[in-house]
Amino acid sequence: MYKYGGYAGKYIRVDLSERKIRVEETPPELVHDYLGGAGLAARLLWDEVEPEVKPLSPQNKIIFATGPVTGTLFPPSGRYAVVSLSPLTGHWGEAHAGGAFSPELKYAGYDFIILEGKAEKPVYLCIEDDLVELRDASHLWGKDTSKTTDLICAENGDPEIKVACIGPAGENLVRYACVINDYYRAAGRTGMGAVMGSKNLKAIAVRGSGDLKPALPEDFTKFSLGAFERHARGEWAEYIQSTSRTYGTTGLMDSMNAIGRLPTRNHYDGYYPEIDKVGSEEIRKCFRVGHKSCFGCAIQCKYISRIKEGKDARTQSEGPEYETVMAYTSNILNSDLTVAMRANYLCNIYGMDTISSGASIAFAMECYEEGLITRGTTEGLELRWGDGEVTLKLVEMIARREGFGDLLAEGVREAAKRIGKGAERYAIEMNGLEASGQDGRAHKSVGLTYAVSVRGADHLRSLCIIDELGFRGKAKERFPQYDTNLVCDLLDERYKGYLVADQEALFAVCDALIVCKYGVMWPPIYYWEDFARLIHLLTGMEEYADVEETKRLGERMAHLKRMFNIRLGWNKANDSLHPRFTEEAMPSGPGKGQVVHLEPMLKEYYEVRGYDWDSGYPTPSALESVGLGDVANELKKMGRLVTD
Amino acid sequence: MQPKMLLVDVGRCTGCRICELACSWAHEGVFNPLKSRISVITWRKEGIDIPMVCQQCDTPLCQDTCPTAAIFRDGKTGALVVEENRCIGCRMCIVACPFGGFSIHTERHVAIKCDLCEGEPACVKYCPMGAIEYVPVDKVGLAKKRAGAKRLSELLSLVTKGVS
């Protein structure tokens, strides 16, 4: 019996170069201090991946981590994290996905897998309870993610096997290749699929039959039942039913356009006049054929979509999510939803992030319009805004690294560098990661979220939603010390640094448990008190019953991810935004005329975190107060610690 | 009193498998889908999810084939229940059942199946989609006819239009 409840109790370490597999007990002190998921992976990466390691070298390590909630009754419980040094950004890489792969890994008996080295030939890791072995994957290399999953199930004679794999994009080291599990679920961002590809690791296949037990079973189950009740009959029941459960994330197309932050024309604008053609009701009416869910979820926001007519008829995939629809409609000025459906399908089977691939195409279209690239550069392709055919062609060229696609496969930061002529003006990225579907000009706090996100221009480390969607009740309840009107004012920078810091620590706990951010931010059901109670009842770690201690846990993990980047050379200059958000006023919509004033928000954020205003480095007390004294010592030796 | 049955609405199931967690918890005190008496069978690529569970047949083939008479009908719920200390683990019930109503317990190696939780099925309580109902057997035929008729009536706009 493992020391703490909820955990499987073991982990797998694979040296791909030596073909060595070791199974060991999950270190109790590691889960005590970092819980699981991305938190635990942060500590492993800090301890084991030295700053001089190159992302696509055998020395880099890749971690697949579940959390204590995974596979249990607390909703939702189907997610896992993939963490590595990112080949897209060169710093902290982290991606998450739902589905059923993660619980299966827990039932097989493992909390996480850490892989290092590089296999001589393509392999896949096969796990069935105590049996853990590397198998030849030569026959799978080159196959798309769907076919790969089919073949692995077929050759093992077991349709219940859960597979996480890469497609051709990962094999071709497309810098934003992703990991796809359960056919359609993408651990999408920061190029985790390329890390797998660089290691000749095609897939992880898993079947498990073991038990999971909470530390305080009766109370935990009662608490979980209560969580279901809060989704089904509580104050948010109707909201969930009419938004996420009915439209999935695509409902955000309409609501984001309504507040003027639906990225349009490569993030030039935040308002898309043709929203009616690409809105959530249109998607539901024209494409939806089935309702789906991740494992153990009480929200159930997943859908199966199918193109019903035309030359791509019968194209079917799960999704598309809001981010994909945004990336392949408004942000490239395309109002034909079938293009987004097809792009979603292609990205899933090739194993490629829809956000970064769509953003790369938007970047190329703007460069083409501005004359920075011509038909000579693109080998005859005319990159006109909204051209669906060219867009879909580019998706495949990127995944295969063919022609001009080879350049876009590097991500927009590198592509802009190679194009030159000031192309970085149109490369809407921060710290190497292409911007996702937000715009700080019409939602100020997300400007800060992007600037300080450890993985680059991305919302999922600290997106604040009480201001975004105007949850005034929650604003009052959570931040009674601040003026609720200002907290909820999308266009006002005041207090947003405090909100973002709070949300960042909260999300760090989500990503360690692991629970989905739906139910935490949208709608805002779970908060600190819930996680404090959850961790205590599930794991039996009594100290976390104290809300302050759970907050300290969240802060510890948030700090550590940043310190990983600081050790790689990150400093204050990295906490910045693309000039499109800070210098170019929003052209239209509710955010018209707005730019992001980062400084006041950043000041608040630094104040909470204890970072030095000039350097962005931490003070010793900031790190020591969350139990990261050893991290402070290492940074001190590098001269990246300031005095208190 | 008429017995009640688990009625699965396949169209509502999304494949979240919360029923499996609730069931394994209720019967075994652990979370483990393999110890659940109900299983959602999934064709993930095609997007099909179908929960499978014992139908509590009136003429149970499992009971007929059981060589030790370990399967009996519960007087209160009408569920077919396995008396574990009589079960010899011969798996004939698995062979006989046309619906996969039985599994073999991964550790105790006895037959396990749905026992309707003494009249309060855990799967029904937890299903967020209302895809599993516990309904009286004599009402189920008419209830399904009404559900089918409702779809037809919507097609014919008899319900949605013209009635205040």
Interface test with A, best of B21, B43, B109, B120 (most A CBs within 10 A): B21
Q: Can you give the residue range of the structural domain that contains A344?
A: 235-427
d(CA A208, CA A105): 6
Q: Give the pair of three-digit tokens for residue A63.
A: 């971690």
For position A644, what pLDDT does the model report?
A: 83
Across the interface, whether the CB atoms of B18 and A73 are under 8 A apart is answered yes
Q: Say whether both A254 and A366 belong to one domain.
A: yes
Q: Say whether both A397 and A297 belong to one domain.
A: yes
Pairing of strands A162-165, A179-181: antiparallel
d(CA A419, CA A377): 9
Chain A residues 42-71 with a CB less than 8 Å from chain B: 71
Residues of B in contact with A297 (CB under 8 A): 16, 18, 128
Q: Does B104 touch chain A (CB under 8 A)?
A: no
Asked if the model's pLDDT at residue A635 lies above 90, the reply is yes
Q: How far is A81 from chain B (nearest CA, A)?
A: 19
Q: Does A304 touch chain B (CB under 8 A)?
A: yes
Q: Say whether both A418 and A448 belong to one domain.
A: no
d(CA A54, CA A60): 7
For position B147, what pLDDT does the model report?
A: 86
Domain-embedded: residue A218: no
Q: Say whether both A192 and A264 belong to one domain.
A: no
Asked if the model's pLDDT at residue B163 lies above 60, the reply is no
Mean per-residue pLDDT, A185-214: 98
Q: Say whether both A185 and A81 belong to one domain.
A: yes
Sheet holding A288-292, edge to edge: A288-292, A302-306, A316-318
> How many A-B residue pairs are in contact by the CB < 8 A criterion?
82
Residues of A in contact with B33 (CB under 8 A): 103, 107
For position A379, what pLDDT does the model report?
A: 87
Q: Give the pair of three-digit tokens for residue A36.
A: 């699981």
A641 near A632, Cβ under 8 Å?
yes
Q: pLDDT tens digit string along A501-526?
A: 999 999 999 999 999 999 999 899 99
Domain-embedded: residue A433: no
For position B3, what pLDDT does the model report?
A: 87
Q: What is the dihedral of CA A363, A364, A366, A367, to 10 degrees?
A: 110
Asked if the model's pLDDT at residue B111 lies above 80, the reply is yes
Q: Tell me which residue of A70, A211, A99, A294 sits closest to B32, measured CA to CA.
A: A211
For position B158, what pLDDT does the model report?
A: 63
Across the interface, whether the CB atoms of B16 and A296 are under 8 A apart is answered yes
Q: pLDDT tens digit string along A19-73?
A: 999 999 999 999 999 999 999 999 999 999 999 999 999 999 999 999 999 999 9
A302 near B14, Cβ under 8 Å?
yes
Domain-embedded: residue A434: no
CA B48 to chain centre: 17
Among residues A427, A458, A485, which one ends one of the domains? A427
Q: pLDDT tens digit string along B73-109?
A: 999 999 999 999 999 999 999 999 999 999 999 999 9
- The total of structural domains in chain A comes to 3
Among residues A367, A392, A427, which one ends one of the domains? A427
Residues of B in contact with A151 (CB under 8 A): none
- Give the residues across from A136 on adjacent strands: A123
pTM summary value: 0.97
Apex A280 CA angle, A279 and A283, nearest 5: 95
d(CA B19, CA A118): 41
Residue A452: exposed, middle, or buried by beta-carbon count in 10 A (0-12, 13-18, 19+)? buried
Partner residue opposite A183 with nearest CB, options B33, B44, B129:
B44
Q: Which residue has the tokens 């749905």?
A: B114
Residues of B in contact with A73 (CB under 8 A): 18, 21-22, 25, 31, 126
Q: What is the full DSSP assignment across A325-380?
A: HHHHTGGGT---HHHHHHHHHHHHHHTB-HHHHHHHHHHHHHHHHTTSS-TTTTTT
Asked if the model's pLDDT at residue B57 lies above 70, the reply is yes
Asked if the model's pLDDT at residue B115 lies above 70, the reply is yes
B122 near B23, Cβ under 8 Å?
yes
Q: Say whether both A143 and A47 belong to one domain.
A: yes
Q: How far is A539 from chain B (nearest CA, A)?
A: 14
Q: Does A154 touch chain B (CB under 8 A)?
A: no
ipTM: 0.94
Q: How crowded is the C-beta side of A243, counted as CA atoms within 13 Å?
A: 18
Partner residue opposite A217 with nearest CB, options B29, B34, B44:
B29
Residues of B in contact with A290 (CB under 8 A): 47-48
Report residue B72: phi and psi, to 5°: -130, 165
Q: Give the pair of three-digit tokens for residue A295.
A: 């494992």
Partner residue opposite B106 with nearest CB, options A209, A212, A228:
A209
Confidence label for B153 from pLDDT (cuts 50, 70 and 90): confident
Mean per-residue pLDDT, A279-288: 96
Q: Does A345 touch chain B (CB under 8 A)?
A: no
Q: Say whether both A491 and A600 belong to one domain.
A: yes
Q: Give the pair of three-digit tokens for residue B142.
A: 């008419």
- Which of helix, strand or coil describes residue A73? coil
d(CA A202, CA A3): 34
Across the interface, whether the CB atoms of B129 and A213 are under 8 A apart is answered no
Across the interface, whether the CB atoms of A209 and B25 are under 8 A apart is answered no
Asked if the model's pLDDT at residue A625 lies above 90, the reply is yes
For position A628, what pLDDT does the model report?
A: 98
Interface test with B, best of A69, A221, A306 (most B CBs within 10 A): A221
CATH code where residue A22 lies: 3.60.9.10
Interface test with A, best of B13, B20, B34, B44 (most A CBs within 10 A): B44
For position A44, what pLDDT does the model report?
A: 98
Domain-embedded: residue A540: no
Partner residue opposite B14 with nearest CB, options A75, A232, A293:
A293
Q: Give the pair of three-digit tokens for residue A96.
A: 């998450």
Percent of the residues in chain A that have a pLDDT greater than 70, as a whole number: 100
Q: Say whether both A131 and A251 belong to one domain.
A: no
Q: Say whether both A492 and A379 belong to one domain.
A: no
Q: pLDDT tens digit string along A218-254?
A: 999 999 999 999 998 888 999 999 999 999 999 999 9
A449 near A501, Cβ under 8 Å?
no
d(CA A555, CA A509): 9
Q: Does B18 touch chain A (CB under 8 A)?
A: yes
Q: pLDDT tens digit string along B116-127?
A: 999 999 999 999
A259 near A442, Cβ under 8 Å?
yes
Confidence label for B1 from pLDDT (cuts 50, 70 and 90): low
- Which of helix, strand or coil describes residue A85? strand
Q: What is the dihedral of CA A73, A74, A77, A83, to 10 degrees?
A: -130
Asked if the model's pLDDT at residue A422 lies above 60, the reply is yes
Residues of A in contact with B15 (CB under 8 A): 292-293
Q: pLDDT tens digit string along A470-509?
A: 899 999 999 999 999 999 999 999 999 999 999 999 999 9
- Which of helix, strand or coil describes residue A162? strand
Report residue A163: phi and psi, to 5°: -125, 135
Q: Say whether both A473 and A362 belong to one domain.
A: no
Q: Does A575 touch chain B (CB under 8 A)?
A: no
Q: Say whether both A59 and A143 belong to one domain.
A: yes
d(CA A63, CA A49): 11
Residues of B in contact with A296 (CB under 8 A): 16-18, 21
Q: Does A221 touch chain B (CB under 8 A)?
A: yes
Partner residue opposite B128 with nearest CB, options A183, A292, A298:
A298
* B59-82 CB burial, b ≥16 within 10 A, e <16: ebebbeebeeebbeeeeebbbbbb
Domain-embedded: residue A4: no
Q: How crowded is the C-beta side of A589, counted as CA atoms within 13 Å?
A: 29
Sheet holding A123-128, edge to edge: A131-136, A123-128, A201-207, A162-165, A179-181, A185-187
For domain B4-137, the question of CATH label 3.90.1150.10 is answered with no
Q: Which residues, including other chains, have CB under 8 Å from residue A195's CB and lie 6 or more apart?
A: A55, A56, A60, A62, A84, A85, A86, A87, A93
Q: How far is A82 from chain B (nearest CA, A)?
A: 22
Q: Give the pair of three-digit tokens for residue A574.
A: 């990295």
Q: Does B44 touch chain A (CB under 8 A)?
A: yes
Residues of A in contact with B12 (CB under 8 A): 291
- Give the residues across from A185 on adjacent strands: A181
Q: Does B14 touch chain A (CB under 8 A)?
A: yes
d(CA A339, CA A334): 8
Across the interface, whether the CB atoms of B45 and A232 are under 8 A apart is answered no
Interface test with B, best of A102, A291, A316 (most B CBs within 10 A): A291
Amino acid present at B83? E
Q: pLDDT tens digit string along A86-111?
A: 999 999 999 999 999 999 999 999 99
A455 near A94, Cβ under 8 Å?
yes
For position B161, what pLDDT does the model report?
A: 59
Q: How far is B136 from chain A (nearest CA, A)?
A: 24
For position B160, what pLDDT does the model report?
A: 57
d(CA A389, CA A374): 18
Partner residue opposite B45 with nearest CB, options A72, A183, A225:
A183
Domain-embedded: residue A2: no
Q: How many helices (H) and strands (E) does chain A have?
A: 28, 17
Q: Say whether both A130 and A27 belong to one domain.
A: yes
